Amino acid sequence: MSIKVAFMQLSSCFGCNVSLLNAQLGLLKILPKLDIVYWPTIIDYKYNSLKKRQKSSIDIGFLEGVARTKKDTYNVKIMREKCKIIVCLGACACYGSVKGLANLFDKNELVNRKFLEAESITNKNPKVPKENLPEFEDFIKNIKEIINVDIFIPGCPPRTENIVSAISYLTEYASKNSNSLNPKSFVCEKCNLFNEGCYLDLNILCYGPITAKGCNLMCPNNGEICYGCYGPVEIPGNKIDLLENIIYDLDLTTKEHIISLQKFLNLYIVNTNINCFYFKEDLIQRLAYEPKSFNTEIIETEKGVKQIFNINTVKNPRINNIIGRSLYLLKDNPNFKFSSKTVCSHCDRNLSDKIPGKLKRDYEDLPNKTQCFIEQGYICLGMVSLAGCGAICPNNANAPCHGCYGPPIGIKDQGAKFISTFGSIAIKKDIDEIMDIIKDPAGTFNRFTLADTILQHKFHDNFKEEDDTSN
């Protein structure tokens, strides 16, 4: 069964779609799985054909570009209504990208510059066009602030391999192909440890009662714990009572408990295990990126009142509660490990002490191909940029990283983090020298992420100083 997909181009350069098309013959592996119902820049589908579709009738919708105009904002909402899964494709859709730098100016300043003041204007009497020009938004607003987004694939543009791998993964997810051979039966039924030596009887976490059978019981038959890699069973086994008691009794968790719970969740629920994109349905990723996005609820158990995350991943409510409790126990626990690598981790250049030499702008001198850019004096954002591109700029183009994949997990403001980091390693540098080299701080440190920072856009201070008449 093919998966219905739609592609919507907002205000963008079309580079992300070109990156996908660069797969060329590699597309032959995924195209048979796709039913492309809307992609007007490639296939002649009309806008009304999208608007007429039923709600949630499209499996996956891809958004490229930013919401610069009112029409863009409307199209974003239309796609959310028609699509079950929404994917932000590229740095523009994820963070605002270079276009987000326009947020440093008022809308009227931008319009006047574009149509009335630019040096390229040849019309003797220039004017702002009215016909067929959609109304502009005051500022570029991140798509995730307009609608709920399920998946983010960053990059300017994302690597072809990133997009193809994401689509391949999503087609499998959307088609709901289960790895389980028998979701109506659970691992414990044929486990040789069921009557004697059962881990649950020994008060050790084992997830066999809630795991579908189909693996030939390789782990239990070898005397090992079942971590649930064949996914949820429809009706759990009786020993779910023991599993619940152990999990609900874990108020003080050990490192071994956290490792067990995280391994279980990684294998049991839908996890991408792909660093180049973020999928909200991957609950481990979500716990690392957005821990506050989970709703907490209180339930009554045999071990008393317990807090869990409200999860509706599977049909069985008891299994959902086990997943929710497991995630709750991982949150804020120092033994919960989920790291996202930075571009530096994939960079081939030699690093000695990361102390910058004489600061330079990009065009000054010719950087050597072996030494760290920072040590050569060039501004490189690799240390605060999410890996996934293969460090293509420093490794292949002899150019510093400018941060188009956005920040790694735990960093809200990529630019602020770089300023903090760079300040610590350049502590002996003269501040005037640094300011003289960095002519455009926003465009240097937040080239791709300004619209997604804490500041987001220009503000007008309407504060009026009051006269002090008290004296």
User: How do the domains of the chain map onto residue ranges?
Assistant: 3-174, 190-330, 343-452
For residue 470, pLDDT over 80 is answered with: no
> For the range 101-106, what are the long-range contacts, defined as Cβ-Cβ under 8 Å and sequence gap of 24 or more?
101/442, 101/443, 101/446, 101/447, 101/450, 102/68, 102/139, 102/140, 103/139, 103/140, 103/450, 103/451, 103/456, 103/457, 103/458, 104/442, 104/450, 104/457, 104/458, 105/458, 106/138, 106/458
pLDDT of residue 66: 97
pLDDT of residue 465: 60
- Highest-confidence segment of 157-161, 348-352, 432-436: 157-161
Helix (H) or strand (E) holding 111: helix 107-112
Looking at every residue in the chain, the average pLDDT score rounds to: 88
pTM reported for the whole predicted model: 0.79
**3-state DSSP: the chain helix, strand, coil percent, rounded to 5?**
40, 15, 50
Rounded to 5°, the CA angle 370-374-379 comes to 120
Measure the CA dihedral 237/239/242/246, to 10°. Answer: -60
For residue 433, pLDDT over 90 is answered with: no
Confidence of residue 130 (pLDDT cuts 50, 70, 90): confident
Percent of the chain at pLDDT exceeding 70? 93
Burial of 214 (0-12, 13-18, 19+ CB in 10 A): middle
* Mean pLDDT to the nearest integer, 390-394: 93
Question: Is 268 in contact with 232 (CB distance < 8 Å)?
Answer: yes
Tell me the three state secondary structure of residue 299: strand
Confidence of residue 73 (pLDDT cuts 50, 70, 90): very high
* Mean pLDDT to the nearest integer, 200-225: 84
More reliable by pLDDT, 52 or 182: 52
Confidence of residue 180 (pLDDT cuts 50, 70, 90): very low
Helix (H) or strand (E) holding 84: strand 83-89
CATH of domain 3-174: 3.40.50.700
Tokens of 303: 């071990």
For residue 178, pLDDT over 50 is answered with: no
d(CA 410, CA 420): 15
Tell me the three state secondary structure of residue 257: helix
Per-residue pLDDT tens digits for 339-373:
778 999 889 998 777 677 788 888 888 999 999 99
pLDDT of residue 179: 47
The count of other CB atoms within 10 Å of the CB of residue 150 is 19
Per-residue pLDDT tens digits for 103-119:
999 999 999 999 999 99
For residue 434, pLDDT over 50 is answered with: yes
The count of other CB atoms within 10 Å of the CB of residue 431 is 9
For residue 462, pLDDT over 70 is answered with: no
